[in-house]
Protein backbone atom coordinates (compact mmCIF):
# COMPACT_ATOMS: atom_id res chain seq x y z
CA UNK A 1 0.00 0.00 0.00
CA UNK A 2 1.09 3.55 -0.64
CA UNK A 3 1.76 5.66 2.47
CA UNK A 4 1.22 9.42 2.20
CA UNK A 5 1.89 11.74 5.12
CA UNK A 6 0.42 15.22 5.57
CA UNK A 7 -0.54 15.90 1.94
CA UNK A 8 -1.29 19.49 1.00
CA UNK A 9 -4.86 20.21 -0.10
CA UNK A 10 -3.59 21.22 -3.51
CA UNK A 11 -2.55 17.59 -4.09
CA UNK A 12 -5.81 15.97 -3.01
CA UNK A 13 -7.33 15.83 -6.48
CA UNK A 14 -4.43 13.75 -7.80
CA UNK A 15 -4.03 11.79 -4.59
CA UNK A 16 -7.66 10.61 -4.48
CA UNK A 17 -7.88 9.41 -8.08
CA UNK A 18 -9.38 5.98 -8.64
CA UNK A 19 -7.90 3.25 -10.83
CA UNK A 20 -8.62 4.29 -14.40
CA UNK A 21 -11.43 2.46 -16.17
CA UNK A 22 -11.68 3.84 -19.69
CA UNK A 23 -14.72 2.22 -21.28
CA UNK A 24 -14.18 4.23 -24.48
CA UNK A 25 -11.59 1.69 -25.62
CA UNK A 26 -14.21 -1.07 -25.34
CA UNK A 27 -16.82 0.77 -27.39
CA UNK A 28 -16.36 -1.02 -30.71
CA UNK A 29 -16.46 -4.48 -29.14
CA UNK A 30 -19.48 -3.62 -27.01
CA UNK A 31 -21.38 -2.10 -29.93
CA UNK A 32 -20.71 -5.13 -32.12
CA UNK A 33 -22.10 -7.50 -29.48
CA UNK A 34 -25.11 -5.29 -28.75
CA UNK A 35 -25.97 -4.92 -32.43
CA UNK A 36 -25.83 -8.67 -32.99
CA UNK A 37 -28.04 -9.34 -29.97
CA UNK A 38 -30.50 -6.71 -31.19
CA UNK A 39 -30.79 -8.28 -34.66
CA UNK A 40 -30.19 -11.99 -33.98
CA UNK A 41 -31.59 -12.43 -30.48
CA UNK A 42 -31.12 -15.79 -28.77
CA UNK A 43 -28.76 -17.12 -31.41
CA UNK A 44 -26.29 -14.30 -30.81
CA UNK A 45 -26.57 -14.65 -27.02
CA UNK A 46 -25.83 -18.38 -27.22
CA UNK A 47 -22.90 -17.87 -29.56
CA UNK A 48 -21.37 -15.30 -27.22
CA UNK A 49 -21.95 -17.62 -24.26
CA UNK A 50 -19.94 -20.25 -26.10
CA UNK A 51 -17.22 -17.75 -26.98
CA UNK A 52 -16.86 -15.99 -23.62
CA UNK A 53 -18.19 -18.40 -21.00
CA UNK A 54 -17.05 -21.56 -22.84
CA UNK A 55 -20.44 -23.24 -22.60
CA UNK A 56 -22.80 -24.61 -25.25
CA UNK A 57 -26.42 -24.00 -24.27
CA UNK A 58 -29.59 -25.56 -25.63
CA UNK A 59 -31.79 -23.14 -23.73
CA UNK A 60 -31.22 -19.82 -21.98
CA UNK A 61 -34.00 -20.17 -19.41
CA UNK A 62 -33.41 -21.93 -16.11
CA UNK A 63 -35.92 -24.80 -15.76
CA UNK A 64 -38.11 -25.63 -12.77
CA UNK A 65 -36.08 -28.81 -12.32
CA UNK A 66 -32.89 -26.77 -12.06
CA UNK A 67 -34.50 -24.64 -9.36
CA UNK A 68 -35.55 -27.77 -7.48
CA UNK A 69 -32.07 -29.28 -7.77
CA UNK A 70 -30.49 -26.04 -6.58
CA UNK A 71 -32.67 -25.94 -3.47
CA UNK A 72 -31.54 -29.45 -2.56
CA UNK A 73 -27.88 -28.55 -3.14
CA UNK A 74 -27.81 -25.54 -0.82
CA UNK A 75 -26.88 -26.44 2.76
CA UNK A 76 -29.29 -25.80 5.63
CA UNK A 77 -26.69 -23.45 7.15
CA UNK A 78 -26.48 -21.34 4.00
CA UNK A 79 -30.27 -21.34 3.57
CA UNK A 80 -30.66 -20.02 7.11
CA UNK A 81 -28.08 -17.29 6.48
CA UNK A 82 -29.78 -16.29 3.21
CA UNK A 83 -33.16 -16.13 4.95
CA UNK A 84 -31.76 -13.98 7.78
CA UNK A 85 -30.25 -11.57 5.25
CA UNK A 86 -33.43 -11.55 3.15
CA UNK A 87 -35.63 -10.77 6.15
CA UNK A 88 -33.40 -7.88 7.25
CA UNK A 89 -33.20 -6.46 3.72
CA UNK A 90 -36.98 -6.77 3.39
CA UNK A 91 -37.59 -5.07 6.74
CA UNK A 92 -35.32 -2.14 5.94
CA UNK A 93 -36.63 -1.58 2.42
CA UNK A 94 -40.30 -2.06 3.34
CA UNK A 95 -39.91 0.87 5.74
CA UNK A 96 -39.14 3.07 2.72
CA UNK A 97 -42.66 2.77 1.25
CA UNK A 98 -43.88 6.10 -0.07
CA UNK A 99 -46.99 7.65 1.38
CA UNK A 100 -48.33 10.38 -0.87
CA UNK A 101 -50.09 13.33 0.75
CA UNK A 102 -52.70 15.51 -0.89
CA UNK A 103 -51.61 19.13 -0.69
CA UNK A 104 -53.95 22.08 -1.18
CA UNK A 105 -51.76 24.85 -2.53
CA UNK A 106 -54.71 27.28 -2.80
CA UNK A 107 -58.45 26.80 -2.31
CA UNK A 108 -59.64 24.57 -5.14
CA UNK A 109 -56.11 23.51 -6.17
CA UNK A 110 -55.04 20.07 -4.95
CA UNK A 111 -51.80 18.25 -5.85
CA UNK A 112 -50.44 14.84 -4.91
CA UNK A 113 -48.08 12.03 -5.93
CA UNK A 114 -48.68 8.33 -6.45
CA UNK A 115 -45.91 5.71 -6.34
CA UNK A 116 -46.11 3.17 -9.16
CA UNK A 117 -43.76 0.22 -9.59
CA UNK A 118 -41.64 -0.12 -12.72
CA UNK A 119 -43.44 -3.01 -14.39
CA UNK A 120 -40.47 -4.85 -15.90
CA UNK A 121 -36.98 -4.85 -14.38
CA UNK A 122 -33.85 -6.79 -15.26
CA UNK A 123 -31.22 -7.76 -12.71
CA UNK A 124 -27.66 -8.60 -13.67
CA UNK A 125 -25.57 -10.74 -11.32
CA UNK A 126 -21.93 -11.30 -12.34
CA UNK A 127 -20.27 -14.68 -12.36
CA UNK A 128 -16.54 -14.12 -12.34
CA UNK A 129 -14.55 -15.21 -9.31
CA UNK A 130 -17.41 -15.40 -6.79
CA UNK A 131 -21.13 -16.38 -6.81
CA UNK A 132 -22.77 -13.12 -5.78
CA UNK A 133 -26.06 -14.46 -4.41
CA UNK A 134 -26.08 -11.52 -1.99
CA UNK A 135 -26.56 -9.21 -4.97
CA UNK A 136 -29.65 -11.21 -5.94
CA UNK A 137 -31.16 -10.41 -2.54
CA UNK A 138 -30.15 -6.75 -2.70
CA UNK A 139 -31.83 -6.21 -6.07
CA UNK A 140 -34.79 -8.59 -6.12
CA UNK A 141 -36.05 -7.91 -2.61
CA UNK A 142 -36.84 -4.20 -3.09
CA UNK A 143 -38.19 -4.98 -6.57
CA UNK A 144 -40.60 -7.46 -4.99
CA UNK A 145 -41.64 -4.98 -2.28
CA UNK A 146 -42.17 -2.25 -4.89
CA UNK A 147 -44.56 -4.54 -6.77
CA UNK A 148 -42.68 -4.93 -10.05
CA UNK A 149 -44.77 -7.30 -12.17
CA UNK A 150 -41.84 -8.95 -13.94
CA UNK A 151 -38.43 -9.40 -12.32
CA UNK A 152 -35.94 -11.24 -14.51
CA UNK A 153 -32.35 -12.10 -13.74
CA UNK A 154 -29.41 -12.81 -16.03
CA UNK A 155 -26.21 -14.42 -14.80
CA UNK A 156 -23.47 -16.37 -16.58
CA UNK A 157 -23.47 -20.17 -16.22
CA UNK A 158 -20.41 -22.30 -15.51
CA UNK A 159 -18.84 -24.47 -18.20
CA UNK A 160 -21.32 -27.26 -17.53
CA UNK A 161 -24.22 -24.89 -18.18
CA UNK A 162 -25.21 -24.62 -14.53
CA UNK A 163 -25.82 -21.59 -12.34
CA UNK A 164 -24.55 -21.66 -8.76
CA UNK A 165 -27.30 -23.21 -6.58
CA UNK A 166 -27.19 -20.37 -4.03
CA UNK A 167 -27.96 -17.82 -6.76
CA UNK A 168 -31.04 -19.78 -7.81
CA UNK A 169 -32.14 -20.32 -4.23
CA UNK A 170 -31.77 -16.61 -3.43
CA UNK A 171 -33.66 -15.74 -6.62
CA UNK A 172 -36.58 -17.93 -5.59
CA UNK A 173 -36.62 -16.54 -2.04
CA UNK A 174 -36.53 -12.92 -3.22
CA UNK A 175 -39.27 -13.23 -5.83
CA UNK A 176 -37.44 -13.33 -9.17
CA UNK A 177 -39.85 -14.28 -11.96
CA UNK A 178 -37.40 -15.98 -14.31
CA UNK A 179 -33.65 -16.60 -14.49
CA UNK A 180 -31.60 -16.80 -17.68
CA UNK A 181 -28.15 -18.17 -18.43
CA UNK A 182 -26.49 -15.16 -19.98
CA UNK A 183 -23.57 -13.01 -18.92
CA UNK A 184 -21.60 -9.99 -20.03
CA UNK A 185 -22.57 -7.58 -22.77
CA UNK A 186 -24.90 -10.11 -24.38
CA UNK A 187 -27.02 -10.28 -21.22
CA UNK A 188 -27.33 -6.50 -21.03
CA UNK A 189 -28.28 -6.39 -24.71
CA UNK A 190 -30.88 -9.12 -24.30
CA UNK A 191 -32.59 -7.29 -21.44
CA UNK A 192 -32.39 -3.96 -23.27
CA UNK A 193 -33.80 -5.16 -26.60
CA UNK A 194 -35.56 -8.42 -25.80
CA UNK A 195 -35.10 -11.78 -27.52
CA UNK A 196 -37.46 -14.71 -28.08
CA UNK A 197 -36.43 -16.07 -24.65
CA UNK A 198 -35.43 -13.02 -22.63
CA UNK A 199 -38.03 -10.24 -22.32
CA UNK A 200 -37.22 -6.58 -22.80
CA UNK A 201 -37.24 -4.67 -19.52
CA UNK A 202 -37.67 -1.01 -18.65
CA UNK A 203 -34.72 -0.70 -16.25
CA UNK A 204 -31.52 -2.71 -15.69
CA UNK A 205 -29.82 -3.08 -12.31
CA UNK A 206 -26.61 -4.69 -11.12
CA UNK A 207 -22.82 -4.55 -11.11
CA UNK A 208 -20.39 -6.02 -13.60
CA UNK A 209 -16.97 -5.77 -15.18
CA UNK A 210 -15.86 -2.97 -17.46
CA UNK A 211 -17.62 -4.54 -20.47
CA UNK A 212 -20.91 -4.77 -18.60
CA UNK A 213 -20.46 -1.19 -17.41
CA UNK A 214 -19.82 0.02 -20.95
CA UNK A 215 -22.83 -1.94 -22.24
CA UNK A 216 -25.12 -0.45 -19.60
CA UNK A 217 -23.92 3.04 -20.47
CA UNK A 218 -24.56 2.40 -24.17
CA UNK A 219 -28.08 0.97 -23.88
CA UNK A 220 -29.06 3.72 -21.44
CA UNK A 221 -28.59 6.34 -24.18
CA UNK A 222 -31.89 5.45 -25.84
CA UNK A 223 -33.17 1.96 -25.08
CA UNK A 224 -33.56 1.40 -21.33
CA UNK A 225 -32.93 3.02 -17.95
CA UNK A 226 -30.12 1.82 -15.66
CA UNK A 227 -29.60 2.02 -11.92
CA UNK A 228 -26.50 4.26 -11.80
CA UNK A 229 -23.04 4.82 -13.27
CA UNK A 230 -20.62 2.20 -11.96
CA UNK A 231 -16.93 1.64 -11.46
CA UNK A 232 -14.64 -0.55 -9.37
CA UNK A 233 -15.68 -1.06 -5.75
CA UNK A 234 -14.02 1.01 -3.00
CA UNK A 235 -13.85 1.69 0.73
CA UNK A 236 -12.50 4.51 2.86
CA UNK A 237 -11.76 4.01 6.55
CA UNK A 238 -11.72 7.14 8.71
CA UNK A 239 -9.90 6.36 11.96
CA UNK A 240 -8.19 7.95 14.94
CA UNK A 241 -5.90 6.62 17.66
CA UNK A 242 -8.77 4.69 19.32
CA UNK A 243 -9.28 2.36 16.34
CA UNK A 244 -8.25 -1.29 16.52
CA UNK A 245 -5.47 -1.88 13.93
CA UNK A 246 -6.64 -5.46 13.30
CA UNK A 247 -10.18 -4.24 12.56
CA UNK A 248 -8.96 -1.54 10.20
CA UNK A 249 -6.66 -3.93 8.34
CA UNK A 250 -9.47 -6.48 8.01
CA UNK A 251 -11.77 -3.80 6.60
CA UNK A 252 -9.21 -2.71 4.03
CA UNK A 253 -8.55 -6.30 2.96
CA UNK A 254 -12.24 -7.18 2.73
CA UNK A 255 -12.50 -4.52 0.06
CA UNK A 256 -9.22 -5.41 -1.63
CA UNK A 257 -10.32 -8.99 -2.31
CA UNK A 258 -13.27 -7.79 -4.43
CA UNK A 259 -11.11 -7.37 -7.52
CA UNK A 260 -7.74 -6.21 -8.76
CA UNK A 261 -9.14 -2.76 -9.60
CA UNK A 262 -10.75 -2.19 -6.18
CA UNK A 263 -9.42 0.57 -3.96
CA UNK A 264 -9.06 0.74 -0.16
CA UNK A 265 -8.06 3.98 1.59
CA UNK A 266 -7.25 4.71 5.22
CA UNK A 267 -7.44 8.34 6.33
CA UNK A 268 -6.16 8.77 9.88
CA UNK A 269 -4.87 11.35 12.33
CA UNK A 270 -2.72 8.75 14.14
CA UNK A 271 0.79 7.93 12.94
CA UNK A 272 0.96 5.01 15.37
CA UNK A 273 -2.25 3.52 13.95
CA UNK A 274 -0.95 3.89 10.41
CA UNK A 275 2.21 1.94 11.28
CA UNK A 276 0.29 -0.80 13.07
CA UNK A 277 -2.25 -1.14 10.26
CA UNK A 278 0.58 -1.54 7.73
CA UNK A 279 1.88 -4.52 9.67
CA UNK A 280 -1.57 -6.00 10.23
CA UNK A 281 -2.42 -5.81 6.52
CA UNK A 282 0.66 -7.85 5.67
CA UNK A 283 -0.03 -10.38 8.40
CA UNK A 284 -3.68 -10.91 7.48
CA UNK A 285 -2.96 -10.87 3.76
CA UNK A 286 -0.85 -14.02 4.05
CA UNK A 287 -3.88 -15.91 5.35
CA UNK A 288 -6.25 -15.01 2.52
CA UNK A 289 -7.16 -17.53 -0.20
CA UNK A 290 -7.65 -14.57 -2.58
CA UNK A 291 -4.25 -13.14 -1.69
CA UNK A 292 -3.24 -12.65 -5.31
CA UNK A 293 -6.29 -10.49 -6.06
CA UNK A 294 -5.92 -8.51 -2.84
CA UNK A 295 -2.23 -7.82 -3.46
CA UNK A 296 -2.96 -6.28 -6.85
CA UNK A 297 -5.77 -4.21 -5.37
CA UNK A 298 -3.52 -2.94 -2.59
CA UNK A 299 -1.26 -1.43 -5.24
CA UNK A 300 -4.14 1.02 -5.89
CA UNK A 301 -4.71 1.62 -2.19
CA UNK A 302 -3.40 4.28 0.18
CA UNK A 303 -2.74 4.95 3.84
CA UNK A 304 -3.01 8.70 4.38
CA UNK A 305 -1.90 10.56 7.51
CA UNK A 306 -3.47 13.98 8.10
CA UNK A 307 -3.03 16.53 10.87
CA UNK A 308 -6.58 17.01 12.17
CA UNK A 309 -9.98 15.33 12.13
CA UNK A 310 -11.38 18.37 10.32
CA UNK A 311 -8.94 17.72 7.52
CA UNK A 312 -9.78 14.02 7.54
CA UNK A 313 -13.51 14.69 7.21
CA UNK A 314 -12.91 17.17 4.38
CA UNK A 315 -10.82 14.57 2.55
CA UNK A 316 -13.52 11.92 2.93
CA UNK A 317 -16.15 14.28 1.55
CA UNK A 318 -13.90 15.11 -1.37
CA UNK A 319 -13.30 11.42 -2.10
CA UNK A 320 -17.03 10.52 -1.78
CA UNK A 321 -16.46 6.81 -1.12
CA UNK A 322 -18.85 4.02 -2.01
CA UNK A 323 -18.34 2.59 1.50
CA UNK A 324 -17.17 4.63 4.48
CA UNK A 325 -16.19 3.06 7.80
CA UNK A 326 -15.78 5.48 10.72
CA UNK A 327 -13.71 4.07 13.58
CA UNK A 328 -13.18 7.09 15.83
CA UNK A 329 -13.88 7.86 19.46
CA UNK A 330 -16.80 10.15 18.60
CA UNK A 331 -17.99 8.35 15.47
CA UNK A 332 -21.62 9.50 15.83
CA UNK A 333 -20.63 13.16 15.83
CA UNK A 334 -18.13 12.62 13.03
CA UNK A 335 -20.78 10.92 10.92
CA UNK A 336 -23.00 14.00 11.12
CA UNK A 337 -20.36 15.88 9.12
CA UNK A 338 -20.27 13.39 6.25
CA UNK A 339 -22.15 14.61 3.18
CA UNK A 340 -20.65 12.47 0.39
CA UNK A 341 -20.76 8.69 0.80
CA UNK A 342 -22.74 5.73 -0.49
CA UNK A 343 -23.12 3.82 2.78
CA UNK A 344 -21.60 4.58 6.19
CA UNK A 345 -20.57 2.04 8.85
CA UNK A 346 -20.27 3.41 12.36
CA UNK A 347 -18.05 2.22 15.17
CA UNK A 348 -15.62 -0.66 15.69
CA UNK A 349 -18.22 -3.42 15.26
CA UNK A 350 -19.74 -2.28 11.96
CA UNK A 351 -17.64 -3.79 9.15
CA UNK A 352 -18.50 -3.23 5.52
CA UNK A 353 -19.40 -6.92 5.40
CA UNK A 354 -22.50 -6.18 7.50
CA UNK A 355 -23.98 -3.97 4.79
CA UNK A 356 -22.70 -6.23 2.04
CA UNK A 357 -24.74 -9.11 3.38
CA UNK A 358 -27.17 -8.92 6.22
CA UNK A 359 -27.69 -5.69 8.19
CA UNK A 360 -30.54 -4.73 5.86
CA UNK A 361 -29.09 -1.81 3.91
CA UNK A 362 -28.42 -2.16 0.18
CA UNK A 363 -24.93 -2.89 -1.10
CA UNK A 364 -25.56 -1.63 -4.65
CA UNK A 365 -23.97 1.79 -4.27
CA UNK A 366 -22.48 4.67 -6.31
CA UNK A 367 -18.76 4.34 -6.97
CA UNK A 368 -16.08 6.47 -8.59
CA UNK A 369 -17.10 9.62 -6.73
CA UNK A 370 -20.71 9.45 -7.92
CA UNK A 371 -21.82 9.47 -4.26
CA UNK A 372 -21.66 13.27 -4.62
CA UNK A 373 -24.77 13.09 -6.80
CA UNK A 374 -26.28 9.58 -6.66
CA UNK A 375 -27.89 7.42 -3.98
CA UNK A 376 -27.51 3.68 -3.66
CA UNK A 377 -30.27 1.31 -4.75
CA UNK A 378 -33.39 1.60 -2.58
CA UNK A 379 -37.11 1.00 -2.88
CA UNK A 380 -37.33 4.29 -4.80
CA UNK A 381 -35.09 2.80 -7.49
CA UNK A 382 -37.92 0.46 -8.50
CA UNK A 383 -40.78 2.93 -8.52
CA UNK A 384 -41.90 6.03 -10.35
CA UNK A 385 -43.80 8.88 -8.77
CA UNK A 386 -46.65 10.22 -10.89
CA UNK A 387 -47.98 13.66 -10.00
CA UNK A 388 -51.69 14.48 -10.04
CA UNK A 389 -53.53 17.75 -9.75
CA UNK A 390 -57.18 18.65 -9.55
CA UNK A 391 -58.27 22.25 -10.12
CA UNK A 392 -61.87 23.17 -9.43
CA UNK A 393 -63.76 26.15 -10.82
CA UNK A 394 -62.85 28.02 -7.65
CA UNK A 395 -59.26 26.94 -8.10
CA UNK A 396 -58.93 28.12 -11.70
CA UNK A 397 -60.23 31.52 -10.61
CA UNK A 398 -57.54 31.60 -7.91
CA UNK A 399 -54.57 30.75 -10.14
CA UNK A 400 -55.88 31.41 -13.64
CA UNK A 401 -55.00 35.13 -13.94
CA UNK A 402 -51.41 34.42 -12.87
CA UNK A 403 -51.16 31.61 -15.42
CA UNK A 404 -52.41 33.95 -18.14
CA UNK A 405 -49.72 36.50 -17.29
CA UNK A 406 -46.98 33.86 -17.13
CA UNK A 407 -48.00 32.26 -20.45
CA UNK A 408 -48.34 35.60 -22.22
CA UNK A 409 -44.87 36.61 -21.15
CA UNK A 410 -43.47 33.37 -22.56
CA UNK A 411 -45.35 34.13 -25.82
CA UNK A 412 -47.36 30.90 -25.51
CA UNK A 413 -50.82 32.19 -26.35
CA UNK A 414 -52.44 28.76 -26.63
CA UNK A 415 -51.35 28.03 -23.08
CA UNK A 416 -52.95 31.30 -21.99
CA UNK A 417 -56.13 30.53 -23.92
CA UNK A 418 -56.54 27.13 -22.24
CA UNK A 419 -57.05 29.10 -19.03
CA UNK A 420 -58.94 32.04 -20.53
CA UNK A 421 -61.73 29.87 -21.99
CA UNK A 422 -62.30 28.35 -18.56
CA UNK A 423 -62.36 31.67 -16.79
CA UNK A 424 -64.92 32.95 -19.31
CA UNK A 425 -67.09 29.83 -19.05
CA UNK A 426 -70.56 30.27 -17.60
CA UNK A 427 -72.57 27.08 -17.03
CA UNK A 428 -75.81 28.97 -17.71
CA UNK A 429 -74.98 30.33 -21.14
CA UNK A 430 -72.17 27.86 -21.98
CA UNK A 431 -69.67 30.74 -22.69
DSSP 218-264: HHTTTT-EES----S-EEEEEE-TTS-HHHHHHHHHHHHTT-TT-EE
- Residue 233 annotated as part of some ligand binding site: yes
Active-site option among 323, 327, 352, 363: 323
> Taking the CB of residue 389, how many other CB atoms lie within 10 A of it?
11
Q: Which is it for strands 263-268 and 302-305: parallel, antiparallel or unpaired? A: parallel
Catalytic residue (choose from 234, 257, 322, 352) = 322
Residue 322 annotated among the catalytic residues of the structure? yes
User: Is 327 one of the catalytic residues?
Assistant: no
124 is in an annotated binding site: yes
User: Does residue 29 sit in helix, strand or coil?
Assistant: helix
- The CA distance from 175 to 280, in Å, is 42
258 annotated to bind ligand: yes
DSSP codes joined into one string, 132-160: -HHHHHHHHHHHHHHT-SEEEEEE---TT
Whether 248 and 281 have beta carbons less than 8 Å apart is answered as no
By DSSP bridging, strand 203-205 and strand 323-327 are unpaired
394 with 107: CB under 8 angstroms?
yes
The response to whether 323 counts as a known ligand-binding position is yes
- At residue 308's C-alpha, the angle toward residues 304 and 309, to 5°, is 85
Residues in binding site = 124, 186, 209, 233, 255, 258, 323, 356, 410, 415
Residues involved in catalysis: 322-323
Binding-site residue set for substrate: 233, 255, 258, 323, 356, 410, 415
The annotated binding site for NAD(+) is made up of 124, 186, 209
Amino acid sequence: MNIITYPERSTWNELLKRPVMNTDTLRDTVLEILNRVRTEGDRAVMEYEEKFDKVTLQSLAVSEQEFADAEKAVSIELKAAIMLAFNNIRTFHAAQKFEGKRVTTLPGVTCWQKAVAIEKVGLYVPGGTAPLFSTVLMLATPAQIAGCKEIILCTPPDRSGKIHPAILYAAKVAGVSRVFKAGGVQAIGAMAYGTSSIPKVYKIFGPGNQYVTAAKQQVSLRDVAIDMPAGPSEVAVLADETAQPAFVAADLLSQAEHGTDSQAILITTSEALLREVTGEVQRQLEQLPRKGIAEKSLANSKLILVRTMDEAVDMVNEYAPEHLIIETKDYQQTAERIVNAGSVFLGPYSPESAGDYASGTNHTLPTNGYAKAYSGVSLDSFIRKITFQEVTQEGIRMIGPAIEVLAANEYLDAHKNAVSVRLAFNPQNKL
